Structure 1
């Protein structure tokens, strides 16, 4: 992609939730839309017409109604800007969407799915919120999950490596309720125990196996490289967004993320040139207007 090059685990941007689940047969339209704009708009200062997006999404089974509804919701969430040119409506990325997509690009192409360079450090976040703060509690947990944290015990979450917690959580206005630490485990605690307590490694492995089951087959990239590229990148980015990147030295030697990442990179290269040529043929684009002209 960018289906959203290497950012270390430090300084991750704040999350703007996309799909973070097991591999679905049909990804949600917003996941597809973000990835589509990441591939074909990010870094190009371009706006796409709604009509051409509708035509491309029909290739992956998304209806015109779903496309129009998704575009409208993403405008409402501050991820896209709407611009009219005559009778046609065009959509461009907002600065917020650019942040999201660059973060995803970094996770895919630079950080990677396999953490082979862990230095033994853990970042910990402790918190205590009033019981009545259900929304704040939900937002905090969602943000921590996005940042690669898992719940070690009640009110204490942990992530491998160095995570910029101020960047990750700063806009939630919960600083007074947070305690942030960094350190290493000491005997009798072992890193594997921390991983087993805080992270569902079996579920993570199952998601990578589902990706392999779906894409490791003859003809995975075939007659429609543009549509297949979109599905491939969406599946992979959703995987790496949900993966806390646990240290490889404490995972099984046959950890499925290793093979899945090689497969993704091979297929992504295989379809890139043909998909780019098809996009240039079918996409209706204009230079992205100044945001002050948005309607």
Structure 2
């Protein structure tokens, strides 16, 4: 799961930092240019790509080493070159991000009134387990209703959310519908900070539709990676609440349209650049993976 891989750091989407942290950029890169392609990519190529965005060689190498230690990447040496491959765990994470970007709309327009309710009570000493569980719940679109009761505005694959968590045995899950006297619009306003979610979309619109675009000094490949990274960081703040319970001026759809427009404009040149600069070899380890 993605409990701490897509966590937004201060400044990543609030306009106080121009470049997201190296790990988020690397996840975007591997998702766009390695996943499903049946290849491993040279470390030198990865360093070159992130250098275009102002990330130092030291920062990139440190992040790659940390990802390898966590079981996300594996290495193959060919002569003097080292190539990086995706582990099954990283493939799962990247597929999740890919689905969020390309297959889920920014607004939930098909809600049938079903809520997923999840309750838990963990020992006070389980601080780390509580943090990981909450991170996964936020990523899955849950909001804290009260105490240890969390809700999401649609059916959720909670098996995937809880997979591998020690805290799973302390969790109870239900599906339900709101009944009078519950005011669903008020419930939504009280459970989620709608102003904060909308602000993320408006910052994205401001940064990418203004006269000076982010990373204007780099090429199309760098701009595309930054665009996609910032979009994923923006939508991961959004629980995709039902359209009928959102403000009339909700900016998510406009932001999504801008993202798709800019991505389509950048993609041909970005792909051409990637074909020139990326040194790859066949991924024999993952060659039988259906994703490739």
User: Which TM-score applies when normalising by structure 2?
Assistant: 0.91
Match of 2:289 in 1: none
Q: Which SS does the other structure have where 2:7 is aligned? A: coil
CA apart distance, 1:16: 5.0
Partner of residue 149 from structure 1, selected from 142, 147, 152: 142
Deviation at 1:131, TM superposition (A): 1.1
Matches within 5 A, 1:1-295: 15=3, 17-20=5-8, 23=13, 24-218=17-211, 220=213, 224-290=219-285
1:172 Cα deviation from its structure 2 partner: 0.7
Contact persistence 1:46–1:288 (CA under 8 A): yes
Contact map agreement 2:130 2:167 (CA 8 A) in 1: no
Deviation at 1:19, TM superposition (A): 3.1
Question: Matches of 1:167 and 1:19 in 2, distance apart?
Answer: 18
CA distance in 1, matches of 2:140, 2:54: 31
User: In 2, are the aligned partners of 1:104 and 1:241 still within 8 Å (CA)?
Assistant: no
Determine helix, strand or coil for the equivalent of 1:158. strand
Tell me, yes or no, if the aligned pair for 2:185 and 2:245 is still in contact at 8 Å. yes
SS at match of 1:131: coil
What displacement does 1:15 show?
A: 4.0
Q: What does the per-residue CA deviation read over 1:187-208, in whole Å, with 9 as the maximum and x for residues that have no partner? A: 1112112212221111111111
Aligned length: 279
Gaps in structure 2 of 5+ consecutive residues: 287-292
Q: How many Å apart are 1:280 and its aligned residue?
A: 0.2
Alpha-carbon offset, residue 14 of structure 1: 5.9
CA deviation vs aligned residue, 1:245-265 (integer Å, no higher than 9, x gap): 111111112211110000000
Q: What is the CA distance between 1:57 and its match in structure 2?
A: 1.0
Segments of 5+ residues of structure 1 without an aligned counterpart are 1-12
